[in-house]
């Protein structure tokens, strides 16, 4: 599965968004094999963060000057937020850039395979909770609607998992990942 997913990600043309008016950010889409089933990891943000209070997201954040690349941003944020060390994340590829309309970010998502079991730990400052979701529980749970903000119209997706709602840029990134993951699984 790992090699097929890595190949599927490498064969696609990544859609980059270059817009100097937007803030660069990056996230990691961590997946792992737990007892023969693939899981995806999300975090719930605390109520103390400046933006995205209480929302479900992937670990990540805003690019800082000390980060050489956006991948460095995603890995640094993972270490800070959930204690996932960069050397333990095997990067499989990238997904298309996504915008966060609410916060004016351009988010670069990186898909990574992480070892399991792994001693993750929430920082309590930015991250309140780590959420493990079996990938098989997500594809049929999404719904969408058109949302217009200013002069932009985007499709907004919503996934429900264990009483939580995954929405916004996270849901759009998740949808793209699930499409690729599903095509890999179906080709086996």
Q: What is the CATH number of domain 2-182?
A: 3.90.79.10
Residue 46: per-residue pLDDT: 83
Radius of gyration in angstroms for the set of CA atoms belonging to the chain, rounded to a whole number? 16
Per-10-residue mean pLDDT for the chain, 188 residues long? 94 92 96 96 82 83 97 97 97 96 90 97 91 88 75 83 92 95 86
Give the number of other Cβ atoms within 10 Å of residue 113's Cβ: 19
Residue 80: per-residue pLDDT: 96
Residue 101: per-residue pLDDT: 77
Residue 50: per-residue pLDDT: 64
Residue 53: per-residue pLDDT: 64
Q: Is 187 exposed, middle or buried (0-12, 13-18, 19+ CB in 10 A)?
A: exposed
Distant-in-sequence, close-in-space partners of 73: CB < 8 Å, separation ≥ 6: 24, 25, 26, 60, 61, 62, 63, 64, 67, 108
Closest CA to 1 of 135, 159, 142: 135
Residue 52: per-residue pLDDT: 59
Asked if 43 contacts 55 with a C-beta cutoff of 8 angstroms, the reply is no
d(CA 144, CA 187): 26
Q: Report yes or no on whether pTM surpasses 0.85.
A: yes
Residue 124: per-residue pLDDT: 84
Residue 151: per-residue pLDDT: 78
Residue 9: per-residue pLDDT: 96
């Amino acid at each position: 599965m790992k090699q097929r997913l890595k190949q599927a990600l490498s064969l696609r043309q990544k859609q980059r968004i270059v817009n100097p008016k937007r803030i660069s950010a990056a996230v990691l889409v961590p997946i792992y094999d737990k007892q023969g089933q693939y899981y995806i990891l999300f975090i719930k943000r605390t109520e103390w963060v400046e933006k995205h209070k209480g929302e479900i997201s992937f670990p990540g954040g805003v690019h800082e000057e000390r980060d050489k690349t956006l991948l460095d941003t995603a890995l640094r944020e993972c270490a800070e937020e959930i204690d996932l060390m960069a050397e333990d994340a095997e990067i499989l590829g990238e997904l298309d850039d996504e915008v966060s309309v609410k916060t004016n970010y351009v988010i670069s998502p990186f898909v990574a395979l992480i070892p399991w079991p792994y001693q993750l730990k929430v920082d309590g400052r930015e991250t309140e909770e780590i959420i493990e979701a079996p990938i098989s529980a997500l594809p049929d749970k999404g719904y969408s609607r058109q949302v217009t903000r200013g002069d932009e119209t985007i499709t907004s997706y919503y996934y429900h998992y264990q009483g939580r709602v995954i929405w916004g840029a996270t849901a759009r990134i998740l949808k793209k990942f699930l499409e690729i993951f599903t095509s890999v699984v179906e080709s086996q």
